[in-house]
Amino acid sequence: MPKVLVTQPSVTGVDDPRLEALHAAGWEVNYQPSGARMKPDELLELVQGHDAVIASSEPYTRAVLEGADTLKHVARWGVGFDQVDVPAATELGVLVTTTVGANDWGVADHAFALMFSLARRTVENDKLLRTGGWARPPGRDIWRKTLGIVGLGRIGRGVAQRASGFEMKVLAYEPYPDTAFCEKWGVELVSLEDLLQRSDFVTLHAPGGGENVHLINADRLALMKSTAYLVNTARGSLIDEEALEAALVGGRLAGAGLDVREQEPPTDTRFVDLPNVVLTAHMAGVTVETSAAMTAMAAESIVEASKGEKPGGLLNPEAWDHRRTY
């Protein structure tokens, strides 16, 4: 009987009905929610003897992938794979999948939730009322403002579609744009610098890592309006947090909504006491509905691969022909 380990805390346990595809295929399901703080040596001990894992954000390093010699498939619960050494997995014949497309709508919704929270000072006002105060600090409109979208992939396109309902002027920076989509939804393609200069709200939906590390740095923050808001529901590495803190404290930026951080969980408290910052714990894509979709998709991808079918969301098809066999 093949064995799968589930480390994703949003899965409720071995009897989670969304894992039905695994049970129906005769898999033994083990559950040990790990969170992001697990170290590689702890992870190796945990995954040893399993054929597949429905993974949270624990580190699947080369050492882990080599040591866990029974492991054939890392099925990431979510769309990010920063914590998986995909080149090493490919070399070793370990399949890596994500649940791409299963939470796009949730992240797009959350980007707007952060924008509204910032513009209308919702969190700030809620805190005031809970401590006995009563005030009506003026917020700012979203209606007919200019929205800059950095990265026009599935999530960025979802944000653009939602913006149309608020009659926003939508700008986008995207190296490989879907021009038909832009024409249909009235999206103006511009340079990153132009976008930052013109936007009232900037929302990030670009991949992290590589040349995108600190894409938003001190120089680019200086291009933004002092009345503008920055939202990040993509990857924490996109923003130079030290530069962002300086801009917020210095009044050079109106506010920021951060669902992701450079280090998660963060060890610093740099944004905690700033009233113009709204923080959430990398949960933009996590709703009841998206959780169900991601869990089911991860389970189904494992079953597909075990049957000799290329699974959905496969990141490293180059590993398929020399994959570890069941």
Given 58, 162, 282, 304, which residue is catalytic? Answer: 282
Given 20, 45, 91, 264, which residue is catalytic? Answer: 264
Beta carbons of 39 and 59 less than 8 angstroms apart = yes
Give the whole-angstrom CA distance, residue 301 versus residue 293.
12
Query: Could you tell me whether strands 3-6 and 52-55 are parallel, antiparallel, or unpaired per DSSP bridges?
Result: parallel
State yes or no: is 23 an active-site residue. no
Given 235, 261, 262, 304, which residue is catalytic? Answer: 235
3-class DSSP state for residue 262? coil
State yes or no: is 162 an active-site residue. no
Query: Could you tell me whether strands 73-76 and 52-55 are parallel, antiparallel, or unpaired per DSSP bridges?
Result: parallel
- Look up residue 46 and give its two tokens: 């945990």
Helices (H) and strands (E) in the chain, counts: 12, 12
State yes or no: is 110 an active-site residue. no
Give the whole-angstrom CA distance, residue 126 versus residue 237.
30
Instruction: Spell out the alpha helix ranges (H) of 177-262.
Output: 179-185, 192-198, 218-221, 241-249
Give the whole-angstrom CA distance, residue 240 versus residue 250.
15
**Residues with catalytic roles:** 235, 264, 282
